[in-house]
C-alpha cells in the first residue's frame, strides 16, 4: 500500500516530506466550484465546505488507486460571513489585503484519508488570524516584493515568508495555516500502521 497525496500543492508536499513520509503525488481532477456552488447556496458552513472538498479530492484519486491510502486536503478562508478564494490577479490581491487590514479572518483546513474510494477518516482544524492595520503603500511594497506567489494562496499571503509582516496576532496551528493539519494526520497515519508508534 502506497501513501498518496491528492494535491499538486508544493507546500503540502514539503510538509509531508519534511515529516519524513514516503509518498507519491497524484493531484485530484475535481471541479471545486461545481462542488462548492450548490453547497454555498444551501448555506453550508465553511468547516463543512472544507471537509467536503477535501473528501472529493481524496475519493477521486482513491477510485483510481485501489488499495492505496490517499490524503485529500482543502482550505477555506472565512471572512465577515463569507468566504474568499485565491485572487485572480494582483489588483484582486491588493483589494483583498486592504479589506483585511485591521480585521480577523479564519482559515479552515480539512484533511481526509480515503482507501478503495471510501473515506476512512476526516479532520478539520481552524486558525484565527488578525491582520495589523497597514497602509496602501505597505500593501503595494509587499505585493511587489512577494510577487505572483501570493496568487497561489487563498489569503494572498504566505505566512512562512514575507506574509508574516501582515499579521498582528495568530491563534491556531501553524500547519493549519499552511493548509494541512499535520499533527492529527500523523497520528491517524500511526493508527493506520503507516508510521511507527
Q: And the C-alpha cell for 182?
A: 499535520
Q: Which of 170, 163, 50 is nearest to 96 (CA)?
A: 163
Q: Write out the three cell numbers for 175.
A: 500547519
Q: What is the 3-state secondary structure (H, E, C) of 154-186?
A: CCCCCCCCHHHHHEEEEECCHHHHHCCCHHHHH
Q: What is the DSSP letter of 68?
A: S
What's the grid cell of residue 32?
471545486
Query: How far from the centroid of its chain's Cα atoms is residue 77's Cα?
Result: 9
User: What's the CA gap between 85 and 22, in Å, rounded?
Assistant: 30
Are the CB atoms for 178 and 159 separated by under 8 Å?
yes
The catalytic site residues sit at 74
Amino acid at each position: 500500500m502506497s501513501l498518496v497525496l491528492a494535491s499538486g500543492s508544493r507546500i503540502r508536499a514539503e510538509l509531508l516530506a519534511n515529516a519524513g513520509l514516503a509518498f507519491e503525488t497524484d493531484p485530484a481532477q475535481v471541479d471545486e466550484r461545481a462542488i462548492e456552488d450548490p453547497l454555498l447556496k444551501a448555506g453550508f458552513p465553511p468547516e463543512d465546505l472544507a471537509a467536503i472538498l477535501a473528501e472529493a479530492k481524496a475519493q477521486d484519486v482513491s477510485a483510481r488507486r485501489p488499495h492505496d491510502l490517499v490524503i485529500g486536503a482543502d482550505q477555506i478562508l472565512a471572512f465577515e460571513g463569507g468566504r474568499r478564494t485565491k485572487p485572480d490577479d494582483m489588483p484582486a490581491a491588493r483589494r483583498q489585503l486592504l479589506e483585511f487590514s485591521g480585521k480577523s479572518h479564519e482559515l479552515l483546513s480539512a484533511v481526509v484519508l480515503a482507501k478503495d474510494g471510501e473515506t476512512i477518516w476526516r479532520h478539520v482544524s481552524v486558525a484565527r488570524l488578525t491582520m495589523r492595520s497597514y497602509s496602501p503603500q505597505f500593501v503595494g511594497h509587499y505585493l511587489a516584493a512577494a510577487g505572483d506567489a501570493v496568487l497561489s494562496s487563498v489569503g494572498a499571503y504566505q505566512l512562512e515568508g514575507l506574509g508574516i509582516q501582515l499579521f498582528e496576532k495568530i491563534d491556531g496551528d501553524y500547519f493549519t495555516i499552511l493548509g494541512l493539519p499535520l499533527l492529527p494526520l500523523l497520528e491517524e497515519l500511526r493508527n493506520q500502521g503507516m508510521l511507527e508508534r
